[in-house]
Amino acid sequence: MRATGGHFLKDYAFEEGYFRDKALAFREGLSMPLMLLGGINRLETMQQAMVDGFDYVAMGRALLIEPDLVARLSAGETTTGLCTHCNRCMPTIYADGGTRCTEVG
């Protein structure tokens, strides 16, 4: 992966909540519970999602590096997760040992 990963694991500019605008269009036309996803990592983004009418937020990658993030956000210990959304966890999806953040030891 180290030798060839850069050829297919490109670097992309990250924008938190990158599906928000498209999800708002769905939110407008639906009356069912809806979840916002797309790089959610900050409490401010989660709170805005609730104001926008979303019922839940998804935080898959953020929880790989910090499984206790939701508890720490709730306790007021932090307002931002450590995940950089570098996508280096993606090749671990089918690896022995399961999906994991490669940035932590």
Query: Residue ranges of the domains in the chain?
Result: 5-92
pLDDT, tens only, 38-95: 989 999 999 999 999 999 999 988 999 999 999 999 999 999 999 988 888 888 888 8
Contact 9, 88 (CB under 8 A): yes
User: Which CATH number applies to 5-92?
Assistant: 3.40.50.12600
pLDDT: is 7 or 26 the higher one? 26
Write down the pLDDT at residue 87: 84
pLDDT: is 103 or 82 the higher one? 82
Write down the pLDDT at residue 8: 61
Q: Which strand (E) or helix (H) includes residue 56? A: strand 56-57
SS3 state at 39 = coil
Residues facing 54 on adjacent strands = none
User: What is the number of helices (H) and of strands (E) in the chain?
Assistant: 5, 2
SS3 state at 97 = coil
Write down the pLDDT at residue 9: 59
Write down the pLDDT at residue 69: 95
d(CA 76, CA 96): 35
- What is the pLDDT confidence band of residue 3, given thresholds at 50, 70 and 90? low
Contact 104, 84 (CB under 8 A): no
